[in-house]
Structure 1
Amino acid sequence: MKDNLFNQYISKLGNTITPDILINIDLLCNALEVAWENGNTIYICGNGGSAANALHIANDFIYGAGKNTDRGLRVEALSSNNAVLTCLANDTGYENIFSEQLKVKANTDDVLIALSGSGNSLNIIRAIEIGNDQNMVTFAILGFDGGMCKPLVQHPLHFNINDMQIAEDLQMIVGHICMQWLSKQKLS
């Protein structure tokens, strides 16, 4: 039974990674490199497992990507400060926990990477809207049908998979691809 589940899981994961998604992964890598070169900040947000992935990817970009260049990327996972999250959730509503941070911190040409399995979390939608309003470069790594985020974000990385765990795995795969590519770049 476990072997069958394992084979089905790996097959679903592999079949979800299609060549057309590579174009947007390339765009993400290039946007991250430009932000790195120019000293812009990359903000990553997500809920639940996606919040954990945001923290992991931020760590990889800060240390792993810059290990060979003496300078990591400026990255912040917007889910990392519990005091800020609970304050904003209490005072402005959970739907604003990321967008309110971006209003204060983000600048033009900073990069937003939104992570969402469904693409329908209101706080992720609001973050993308504010990111677009503030002239950030916005990306979202999405599963299922892409939800309401897909038409809002400038660069959707949409994996058409109706499985939350695989959608979250794909967030990390994209993050690791970008980190490994960035670690081989030479900053000017």
Structure 2
Amino acid sequence: MTQHPRGTDRLAEATDFLYPFIEEQESDAESLLVDLSASAEAKAAESASLRRATLQACETLVVAAGVEMARRFAAGGRLFTFGNGGSSTDAATLAALFTRPPSGQPLPAWSLTADQAVLTALGNDVGFDLVFARQLIARATSADIAIAMSTSGNSADLLAALHEAHTRGMYTIGFAGYDGGAFAANPDVDVCFTVESQSVHRIQEAQALLGYQLWATAQAEGEQR
């Protein structure tokens, strides 16, 4: 009987949740491919459905936020985005969309996770909960915009930054999943976009589309000014 290395066993256990229908002794390649294809199609359909529902549910908020962002950009305001883990890359992507758009006018935007020296210095010297708030203290004004991206809406460093931004008169936007977490109904958050899903993957996919729609709305509103 073939012995599998223990490392292989651990890898299989770690990935079982992704494809629970794949059995350890699966030997029918054609059947396996059919199952994989069906799983991929189901995930794609679920993602598309959630994105459509989220855009529809957030349509009024997206328009209102886009109009306010355009007003602030026209007055010299800037956008600061931030998040943790995968949401930090989403925040960086959103900032890049504003600064290097596929069309229209580039707008000033920065991701507060971009500078590793600043991020690690603040984390070491004042604590991780303040890595974004302290950057806003140093760089932001009341004319600016803050966007915090999260799947839970509960991260302490994001909440501290949103509180600092709101105190300084910035326009604050939160992206969250599940039920919105602490971002929802928060006086420090002017607009909260909530993706009502229990899947981190689906939440971030829907947030990406929301971010694009927010940029498109702000861009279109800016062109009319």
Could you tell me which residue of structure 1 aligns to residue 112 of structure 2? Answer: 78
With normalisation by structure 1, the TM-score equals: 0.90
Q: Does 1:174 align with 2:222?
A: no
RMSD (Å), alpha carbons: 1.8
Note the C-alpha offset of 1:182: 4.2
Q: Which moved more, 1:85-94 or 1:177-186?
A: 177-186
Which protein has the larger Cα radius of gyration, Structure 1 or Structure 2? Answer: 2
C-alpha distance in structure 2 between counterparts of 1:20 and 1:137, whole Å: 21
Letter in 1 for 2:147: I
**Which residue in the other structure is 1:130 paired with?**
164
Contact 1:35 1:42 in 2 (8 A): no
Structure 2 unaligned segments of length 5 or more: list them. Answer: 1-34
Would you say the 8 A contact 2:177–2:198 is kept in 1? Answer: yes
1:63-117 deviation digits (Å, cap 9, x = unpaired)? 206x434xx2111111111000001100111111101111111111311111000
Q: 1:135-154, aligned counterparts within 5 Å?
A: 135-152=169-186, 153-154=189-190
Q: Deviations over 1:42-75 (max 9, x none)?
A: 111111111111111111101206x434xx2111
Match of 2:59 in 1: 22
Contact 1:31 1:111 survives alignment (8 Å): no
Partner of 1:61: 98
Question: 2:12 maps to which residue?
Answer: none
Query: Number of matched residues?
Result: 185
| Identity %, equivalent residues | 23
Partners in 2 of 1:97 and 1:54 — Cα distance? 15
Alignment partners' CA distance in 2, 1:182 and 1:150 = 23
Distance in 2 of aligned mates of 1:138 and 1:20: 19
Give the whole-Å Cα distance in 2 for the aligned partners of 1:78 and 1:137.
16
